Structure 1
Amino acid sequence: MQSLVGTGVALVTPFKKDFSVDVDALKRIVNFQIDNGINYLVILGTTAETATLTQDEKELVIQTVIEANNGRLPLVLGVGSNNTQQVIEELQTRDFSKFVAILSVSPYYNKPTQEGIYQHFKAIAEASPIPVIVYNVPGRTGSNMLPSTVIRLANDFKNIVAIKEAAGDIVQAMKLIENKPEGFLVISGDDMVTLPMVLAGGSGVISVIGEGFPKEFSEMVRLGLERKVDEAYKLHYLLAESIDMIFEQGNPGGIKEVFKSLGISENTMRLPLVNVNEDLAGRINQFVKKIKK
């Protein structure tokens, strides 16, 4: 799965001021990624505010990205739920011909045991017509996929090809990297620890900050993969302040403020999420001006 090595980005869903999906802005965002070195695009992840989209809007987002991308970059589709059967039904009915993999989050809210998590992804692996990236984000799901569970899945199902690891725990990430089967990818889901994970043997990132500063962040990851440590850390520290800022008041409020500062899209959010406050918006705007000088 070389197409998943490097920098992927979890695309936002831009909204107009009337809260409708802004198709033109989404096309601009896709082209901004492609023009600035991003390696692949992830559609309908958490950052896309997928939980607030209707089924028709989800289809609109998918088709818009497919058309704007026009085959230029690999595409990954978010297909996850805390209802295992619902995921299976989507896997059995959707056309995945435009996608290289799905990204499937560990079940949230239910708080399953490790065996429950294993059985959930076993069912998904057996139903999926394309490779599966499992997604561990305990801060959102309420449960942590332990490395032993991930390694068990990776060994048992050849189409489970990667994990997006977003526990924010570098020790846990290193255990995954140390014990994973050959060819299995450990992808950072936490922008701040992306470079340490890459240098430890990780395969890259599915990023949020990367879509706001795609040129700089993707270059950092490339340098890390090439073991050019000092050059990579120079870019890490250039962007570190912005990583803190975009998550300070929740995702994707911060990254949408970056896009507004860049003149690419509005910063409109759908409830229950709200815009970042005036103080943070001002700091983000000043950072964007500094980077884009």
Structure 2
Amino acid sequence: MPATNGVNGAHVSRPLKAGIYAPIPTFFLPDSEDLDIPSLETHVVRTAQAGVPPLLAGSMGEAIHLSHDERQTIIKAARKALDAAGLIHVPIIAGAGGGSLRETMLLGEQAAAAGADYSIVITSGYFAGALAGNRKALKAFFTEVAEKSPIPVIIYNYPGACGGIDLDSDLITELAMESPNLCGVKLTCGNVGKLTRIAATVSESSFAEAHPRKNPDAPFLVLGGYADFILPSASVNGHGAITGLGNVAPCTIVKLYELSVAAQKDPSLLPEAHRLQGIVGRADFTIAKASISGTKFLLEKLYGYGGAPRKPLPLIEPEAANALWEHPHVQEIVRMERELSGKQ
């Protein structure tokens, strides 16, 4: 089912492809904390031009701090900016996780109406004590979300953001088999073994034949939530990553992914893939520890926009910010990004 939100009302197909995606920060104006739409538009176009499509209103995008109207506003703004830049075929993924099944379905409908091509849904963690051990309830939640969503849905497995709820590989694989409107999983649990097990099933040609997707443009992708195992993921038929580092160094992450895939057929590329994975993995670990405020600080340093998160999230302290910028792992990836982007 092609997207209907194309230029001049045209039908535009925006396939969900293996590769790198970036969870885009939501930018806010100083003092008022109102949405900073110009910075969002600039950044979405910047990453997309580097080959990294956006995920809006996710964890990095402070979705929990956004109203329903604000979520729709940033989706509409991003779609308009991408189309204006000639990037009409770049898909938008939008976060649609809510506190209840009812709210989650509403957020998915609103995201689709605003121009999102795909949604990503995390389990609500408020009642994690009741849900974490209830496999039946967890499966029913994602089954119903997918069944009723107007756009394909990615499962978001991030125990750190939902009270420790951690979907196992058996449950995710079952959902992939039984819910044709599910189009992937993001594993921010960082469990490479889990990724390996899921990919071993869904990457087989027989899987697509036996379990066709509702939308042929949306195959079931197995995506990491960090950039430090892109090469290992490729070696077990994983499909890339949705990674916050894609905001800071999109060209570098794309190059690593392309090398990782090519090296499966040409082992002579492995040494360079190993080298680049080391640079990316070290930077990912260092920057992730600085959280959203650290990523925004780096964007401000590199590109002139970033700003602060919404309160109560704190700004990164000046000493910590300077230490982050001067950290050898950060400087290493900044040099690599400048080299690959041609901006020395």
TM-score in terms of structure 1 length = 0.91
Structure with bigger RCO (C-alpha 8 Å, 6+ apart): 1
Match status 1:195 vs 2:222: no
Match status 1:186 vs 2:208: no
> C-alpha displacement at 1:94, in angstroms?
5.4
TM-aligned CA distance change 1:13 to 1:262, over 3 Å? same
> C-alpha displacement at 1:202, in angstroms?
0.5
2:279 aligns with: 238
1:223 aligns with: 259
Instruction: State the one-letter code of the partner of 1:163.
Output: V
2:323 aligns with: 283
Consecutive unaligned residues of structure 1, counting only runs of 5 or more, are none
TM-aligned CA distance change 1:99 to 1:153, over 3 Å? same
CA deviations over 1:75-109 (Å, ceiling 9, x no partner)? 11111123011122334565448333111112323
Q: 1:133 pairs with 147, 154, 159, which one?
A: 154
Q: 1:248 pairs with 281, 289, 296, which one?
A: 289
Which runs of structure 2 are paired with 1:55-204 in the superposition (5 Å)? 55-70=68-83, 71-92=88-109, 95-96=112-113, 98-111=115-128, 112=131, 113-141=134-162, 142-180=164-202, 181-182=207-208, 183-204=219-240
TM-score in terms of structure 2 length = 0.79
2:228–2:282 CA contact under 8 A, matched in 1: no
Match status 1:4 vs 2:17: yes
Instruction: State the one-letter code of the partner of 1:80.
Output: G
> C-alpha displacement at 1:72, in angstroms?
4.2
> C-alpha displacement at 1:55, in angstroms?
2.8
Instruction: State the one-letter code of the partner of 1:282.
Output: N
Q: Distance in 1 between matches of 2:251 and 2:273?
A: 13
TM-aligned CA distance change 1:20 to 1:89, over 3 Å? closer
1:31 aligns with: 45
Size of the aligned set, in residue pairs, is: 291
Consecutive unaligned residues of structure 2, counting only runs of 5 or more, are 1-13, 209-218, 264-268, 339-343
- RMSD of equivalent CA atoms: 2.0
